[in-house]
Amino acid sequence: MGRNLETHDFYCIRCGKKGIPVVRKRGHQHGKHHMKKLFCLTCQEEINHVECKNYADVIEFKEKFERGEYNDAAKESLSYVRDSRKWQDNLDNKTDFKQFS
Ligand SMILES: [Zn+2]
């Protein structure tokens, strides 16, 4: 067991910290720096993480992160979460209005 599995590290695009690793079947290949939405323990939010399959990928991610290349993507990732919360608020407001009319 485990011979066909490998662990891929994921790095949070907002804080740049290593996130929860994901175990994949060997041969399950995405493009380089594939993004996946995961829960970041540091940010305490669901946010896109960049998949790093090897040390070179990690170095490249860190360089891009330092240059701020993920800033926009991180914001987008967060606004998506905040929008869905706003939407929930709107629903709650609507039920309040119903009681008044
Ligand atoms: Zn984070």
Q: Residue 28 falls within a domain, yes or no?
A: yes
Cα 13 to middle of ligand 1, angstroms? 7
Q: Residue 99 falls within a domain, yes or no?
A: no
Query: Which residue type sits at 53?
Result: K
- What is the domain range of residue 28? 5-92
Q: Residue 100 falls within a domain, yes or no?
A: no
Cα 11 to middle of ligand 1, angstroms? 8
Q: Residue 35 falls within a domain, yes or no?
A: yes
- Hey, what are 72's tokens? 């926009």
Cα 87 to middle of ligand 1, angstroms? 24
CB within 8 A of 58, min separation 6: which ones? 9, 11, 52
Cα 29 to middle of ligand 1, angstroms? 24
Top pLDDT among 101 and 44 is at 44
Q: How far apart are CA 35 and CA 14, in angstroms?
A: 13
Q: Residue 75 falls within a domain, yes or no?
A: yes
Please report the DSSP string for 76-88 in residue order. Answer: HHHHHHHHHHHHH
Q: Residue 32 falls within a domain, yes or no?
A: yes
Residue whose entry in the numeric block shows the structure tokens 């869905």: 84
Kindly report the number of other CB atoms within 10 A of residue 58's CB atom. 15
pLDDT in tens, 40-95: 999 999 999 999 988 999 999 999 999 999 998 888 877 766 666 666 666 665 55
pLDDT surpassing 60 at residue 1:
no
Q: Residue 19 falls within a domain, yes or no?
A: yes
State how many domains the chain has.
Answer: 1
